[in-house]
Structure 1
Amino acid sequence: MATFDRRAFLRTTGLAGLAVGLAACGGETPGTGGGDAANGFGSVKLQLSWKKNVEFAGEYFADSKGYYKAAGFDKVELLSGGGSGTSVESGLATGRCWIGLSAPTITAPAILQGAPLKIVGATFQKNPFAVVSLSKNAIKEPKDLVGKRIGVQDSNELVWNALLKANGLDPAQVTRVPFQSDPSMLTSGQLDGYIGFVTSGPVRLRMQGHDPAYLLFADHGLPLVAETFTVTQDTIDNERDKLKAFLTAEIKGWKDAVADPAKSAELAATVYGKDQNLDVKEQTEEAKMQNELIVTPDSKANGLFTITENLIGQNIASLAQAGLNITPEQLFDMSILNEVYKADPSLKPA
């Protein structure tokens, strides 16, 4: 079972020296394979935010169905993230990856320390973080937190406090319990709820015979996008066509993934993540859950990965609640995706 450390809304590990490292990476980033529009884009490395499970089904489709190759890439290597591995932001600095999947709460601190990075799209329109509970003692609204015992990892303390602040709750009204991602603390009655991913926690509880409930952060005062495509400013400035080609392949892959949760699970469990001992049934249910975070009225209207100005503003406000004061222009650049959809409107949902 994956832990939730990598899903911390603020992680500073690996950020020391990041700005210097990225500033030194002028021109072609080391280790990306080179290539240009005339001769194809060569090989690139995409760093995932976690180990290879169904969260990255769109990437599996883009690879297995040849969308990357059709876009001009010889190969797109999918690098596992998570655990004690290098963060996407550090990976971009060192040339370990050319593009990565991260989160605003990880990328923003790097930018504020001087790293020339930008988010150019988001797979998840809603961040999956939630307070997971059981229906017999359900926590569905912020007011339900009062008097409850909630498992919170140290790495999530900042965002936990931001959630309370956004909903006018005093931390003293809730008992915070040290937590290391073990859901049995909930089912055994040691906790009333814990911070986890809505795409996995409730699914696993349900498969174990429990009736779960949850409070999604994104719907209760702390909206943030997730699985964000993060690149260097140099890539935007000097490899724009390459980046547009990559995002085009990604859109095609994720359209397929959204349409077929069962196939998404099969690719995750039997091909790309076959060494992770994944359960196909569980992965299928997780794929269905994550579709609700990916497909929203806005992404239906504007296309996958797009982030509206209104949602960007909400993200900036959420980051401020967590003590990260950054401007939209510093963190986001939606112009690349706008050009992709303008060039090929058929990429938008029917």
Structure 2
Amino acid sequence: MTHELLRRRSVLGAVAGGGALATLAACSQESGEPAAAQPSAADGTTTTLRVALGWIKNVEWAGLWRADDAGYYAEEGLSIEWLQGGPNAPTVMASVAADSADLGIAAGQQSLLQSIPQGNDFVVVGSIFQDAPGSLLSLASRPVRSAADLKGQKVLGQEGTQPTIDALFRLAGMEPDYEFVTAAYDPGPLVEGQGVAYTCYLTNQPIILEQSYGLAESDYVVTPYSAMGIPQYASLIFGQRAFLDGNRDTVVKFLRASVRGWADNEEDPEVAAKLAVEKYGVDLGLDLEQQVQENELQIPLTESDLTRSAGMFRMDPALMAGEMYDALRAAQVTDLPDADSIIDMTLLDEVYANGTTL
């Protein structure tokens, strides 16, 4: 197996969209009201923070589970209400815009970006994953590592991923030239030879190839979109500007505790996997072995040159406005917000005021 990045989420049932192309809007409401304070046995007050997750309560949120279980949020005087996402839940953008959640963690960057010009005054304060795990999966006998390898070929994928494939061609200076074949979230059609590539999440379908089809790592190739010129942030933490302005200290505390949890997760990926299976996602029927494997493989996604020097969750507005926006425009995404105006790293500056080791 070849993959420069990693695999991502375990899909249980239908998943909305894929990668770069779901247009999601939400009606905005102004909310500068403080997060709810409740009595606490520890110091008299505990602030309840409602956090909407962009997916189900699986190991994708490993660092958050570690922080919550270890009491890091409680140490900051916070009680977190985790609002589960998934195919039957409102989008995180809709939840935050409607004041059903104080903060949201958007699994995909593009849907969040597209919701902002539609009347939502959202500000991003950090990104858990430094690159999204969307990728192309192919067999080692016919590897796909560039758009040129797709020319005139059949590409298997979920509806909504076609513009991403088109963008791969355009970024390579080519007109799109391929046949798109709709496929479900099982890569079986790839094994059967129905296409040369399959759109996937790096944390899901490669594991299925091994567990369900008996392929070895050397039997398949995973090429991340980022390796072909389409980088994106993922699991972006955001809120309404008015809420962030009115509750800055609370959000800083949330970020600080969350960073500690993700740092712990790097030390032992099995702990968070067990928490997902046995506690936070206990009703989801998650498989422990798969969750451990997913967590091991997603950890490098939290790292970049920027985070290694300046701390986890950091974002670079210039990278978003440059290479990331170029890729989105190649996918014919328009009306993108000004990156400098929607990214605020000053809260993380407070988190790391005394250094990047918390």
Q: Could you state the TM-score of these two structures normalised by the residue count of structure 2?
A: 0.87
Q: Secondary structure at the match of 2:351?
A: helix
User: Which of residues 33, 36, 42 is equivalent to 1:33?
Assistant: 36
User: Which of residues 81, 90, 106 is equivalent to 2:85?
Assistant: 81
Q: Which amino acid aligns with 2:350?
A: E
CA shift for structure 1 position 87: 0.6
Partner of 2:97: 93
CA shift for structure 1 position 310: 4.3
Distance 1:195 1:113, change over 3 A: same
Mapped to 2, the partners of 1:252 and 1:48 lie a distance apart of 18
Q: Secondary structure at the match of 2:155?
A: strand
Mapped pair 1:308 → 2:323 = no
Partner of 1:114: 119
Mapped to 1, the partners of 2:33 and 2:44 lie a distance apart of 15
Asked if 2 retains the 8 angstrom alpha-carbon contact of 1:122 and 1:227, the reply is: yes
Partner of 1:253: 261
CA shift for structure 1 position 46: 1.1
Query: Structure 1 stretches (4+) deviating beyond 6 angstroms?
Result: none
Matches within 5 A, 1:156-235: 156-172=161-177, 174-208=178-212, 209-210=214-215, 211-235=219-243
Asked if 2 retains the 8 angstrom alpha-carbon contact of 1:4 and 1:196, the reply is: no
Mapped to 2, the partners of 1:301 and 1:146 lie a distance apart of 40
CA shift for structure 1 position 137: 2.0
Asked if 2 retains the 8 angstrom alpha-carbon contact of 1:119 and 1:331, the reply is: yes
User: Structure 1: which 5+ residue stretches go unaligned?
Assistant: none
Distance 1:297 1:345, change over 3 A: closer
Q: Which amino acid aligns with 2:149?
A: D
Mapped pair 1:51 → 2:51 = no
Return the structure number with greater relative CO, CA threshold 8 A, min gap 6. Answer: 2
CA shift for structure 1 position 329: 2.1
Q: Which amino acid aligns with 1:311?
A: L
Mapped to 2, the partners of 1:329 and 1:298 lie a distance apart of 17
Distance 1:316 1:39, change over 3 A: farther
Mapped to 2, the partners of 1:26 and 1:97 lie a distance apart of 11
Asked if 1 retains the 8 angstrom alpha-carbon contact of 2:129 and 2:234, the reply is: yes
Mapped to 2, the partners of 1:329 and 1:302 lie a distance apart of 18
Partner of 1:318: 327
CA shift for structure 1 position 238: 1.2
Partner of 2:353: 342
Aligned residues: 336
Q: CA RMSD in A?
A: 2.2
Mapped to 2, the partners of 1:331 and 1:89 lie a distance apart of 14
CA shift for structure 1 position 6: 4.7
Q: Which amino acid aligns with 1:225?
A: Y
Task: Report the identity percentage.
Answer: 28
Distance 1:48 1:100, change over 3 A: same
Distance 1:344 1:34, change over 3 A: farther
